[in-house]
Structure 1
Amino acid sequence: MVQVDFRSRVPIYEQLVEKYKELIIKGVLVEDEKLPSVRALSKELGVNPNTIQKAYRELERQEYIYSIKGKGSYVMGRQDRKNNEEKNKIKNELKKVMTQAMYSGITFDEIKSIIDEVMNERGI
């Protein structure tokens, strides 16, 4: 299912990450589907198991897969990934705005007051 180009300048683990992301995004690999074990994929592709493990770790970091110790790696649900991606995007935007606010002289108490105001408006 997955192939790597040994002549490419792109590292093998990056090729694997991109191929698996593509398969997951296109729906070829579905939620909770088990991925091949590190050893099995390593043997199939003729690649060092550490390379496969590195690719799986990166996919997990990017929240495309999750691992269960002793069981293997599985495809993460789209909704979970979408929510996490959205949360990370919002967190990054908040950090930028907070930095701008600090440079503009807005104090922590003023920021806290704004947060309280928004929470009260939303009934939280």
Structure 2
Amino acid sequence: MAAGRFPSFGLATPPAPRAIGADEAIALLKGGQAKPASLLAYGNGRSYGDSCQNGAGAVVDMRSLNRIHAFNAETGVLKADAGVLLSDIIAHAAPYGFFPAVVPGTQFVTLGGAI
């Protein structure tokens, strides 16, 4: 992901963080070049006011980690990556009678950002 704007809803204007992909983040952690606290996951930029305020570290773009790995149509248990959009979860689960009990005002939040 190229460096640049990471949109957020709100007026906070922190320094622009360095953007990296998930693979680079894993390599930095395994190699000891980064501590977990220096990295902040970035989903789809729908956070209310505090999205990606990590001017002293790096932002990890999680949007490529967007797969639904398993869904149990009997129990509603879902196994998915953090970058899966709520709209994808609803599209996958609703035909089986499952819908999240609480949802935000947008369907474009990521699973990781919602929890």
TM-score, length-normalised on structure 2? 0.24
Larger CA Rg, structure 1 vs 2 = 1
Q: Which has the higher contact order (CA 8 A, sep 6+)?
A: 2
TM-score, length-normalised on structure 1? 0.23
More helix by share: 1
